[in-house]
């Protein structure tokens, strides 16, 4: 994992993965959404809120899924998305 100082506690959601770019985050979220798993994307650093002034987020995205869907999301990611960090592949 690169720079990621902001894994938040979100009620009923569980941190799934850090995406290095916003585009990667949208791809991951799209795949999960296709399987009916809702996602919440959150900037990985506090600077993410400055994107209106500074342009697109370059600090990465934290992706969260409902706690009840976490295991299913891991299975989908392991089967659908290549290049997962080794610690995600169990």
Residue 1 has pLDDT above 60, yes or no: no
Complete DSSP assignment for 23-89: HHHHHHHHHHHHTT---EEEESSGGGGGHHHH-S--S-EEEEEEGGGHHHHHHHHHHH-SS--GGG-
Q: pLDDT (tens digit, 9 = 90+) per residue, 16-70?
A: 999 888 888 999 999 999 999 999 998 876 554 555 555 655 678 899 999 999 9
The pLDDT of residue 37 is 97
* Cβ pair 16, 73 in contact under 8 A: yes
Q: List b or e across 8-26, with b for residues whose CB sees 16 or more CB atoms inside 10 angstroms.
A: eeeeebebbbbbbebebbe
pTM score, whole prediction: 0.72
Partners of 40 in the β-ladder: 64
Domains in the chain with CATH codes: 13-83 (3.30.70.1530)
Q: pLDDT (tens digit, 9 = 90+) per residue, 56-78?
A: 556 788 999 999 999 999 999 88
Partners of 18 in the β-ladder: 62
């Amino acid at each position: 994992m690169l720079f990621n100082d902001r894994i938040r506690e979100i009620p009923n959601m569980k941190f799934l993965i850090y995406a290095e770019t916003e585009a990667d985050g949208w791809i991951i979220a799209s795949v999960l959404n296709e399987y009916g798993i809702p996602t919440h994307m959150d900037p990985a650093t506090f600077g993410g809120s400055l994107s209106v002034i500074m342009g697109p987020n370059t600090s990465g995205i934290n992706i969260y899924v409902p706690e009840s869907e976490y295991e299913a999301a891991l299975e989908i990611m392991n089967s659908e998305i290549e290049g997962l960090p080794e610690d995600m592949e169990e």
